[in-house]
Amino acid sequence: MIYLILSILSSTGIFILFRTLKSFKINTLQVIVMNYITACFTGFLIYDGEISLNAITSSGWFYGAVALGFLFIAIFNVIALTSQRNGLSVASVASKMSVVIPVIFGLYVYKESMGAQKLIGIVLALLAVYLSSLKPKSDAKLGKALLLPILLFFGSGVIDTSIKYLETTYVAENGIPVFSGTIFGFAGFIGIAIIVYKMLFQNMKFELKSIPFGIALGLINYCSIYFLLKALQFEGLESSTIFTVNNVAIVAFSTLVGLVLFKERISKINWMGIGLALVSITLITLA
Instruction: Kindly state the average pLDDT of the residues 116-129.
Output: 81
SS3 content of the chain, % helix, strand, coil (to 5): 80, 0, 20
Q: How far apart are CA 249 and CA 8, in angstroms?
A: 7
Q: How far apart are CA 17 and CA 38, in angstroms?
A: 15
Q: Is the pLDDT reported for residue 142 higher than 70?
A: no
Segments of the chain assigned E as strands: none
Q: How far apart are CA 118 and CA 31, in angstroms?
A: 39
**pLDDT 10s digits, 49-96:** 788 889 899 999 999 999 999 998 888 778 767 765 665 555 666 677
Q: How many CB atoms lie within 10 A of CB 81?
A: 16
Distance in Å from the first CA to the final CA of the chain: 15
Q: How far apart are CA 57 and CA 198, in angstroms?
A: 30
Q: Is the pLDDT reported for residue 137 higher than 70?
A: no
Instruction: Kindly state the average pLDDT of the residues 133-151.
Output: 61
Q: How far apart are CA 48 and CA 103, in angstroms?
A: 32
Nearest to 223 by CA among 5, 6, 2: 6
The pTM assigned to this predicted structure is 0.79
Share of the chain above pLDDT 90, in %: 22
Instruction: Kindly state the average pLDDT of the residues 130-159.
Output: 70
Q: Is the pLDDT reported for residue 260 higher than 90?
A: no
Alpha-carbon separation of residue 225 from 15, 214, 229, 254 (angstroms)? 14, 16, 6, 17
**pLDDT 10s digits, 239-251:** 777 887 887 788 7
3-state SS of 68-91 is: HHHHHHHHHHHHHHHHHHCCHHHH
Most distant CA atoms of the chain, gap in Å: 57
Cβ contacts of 5 within 8 Å, gap of 6 or more: none
Is residue 140 very low, low, confident or very high in pLDDT (cuts 50, 70, 90)? very low
Q: How far apart are CA 27 and CA 21, in angstroms?
A: 8
Q: How far apart are CA 70 and CA 68, in angstroms?
A: 5
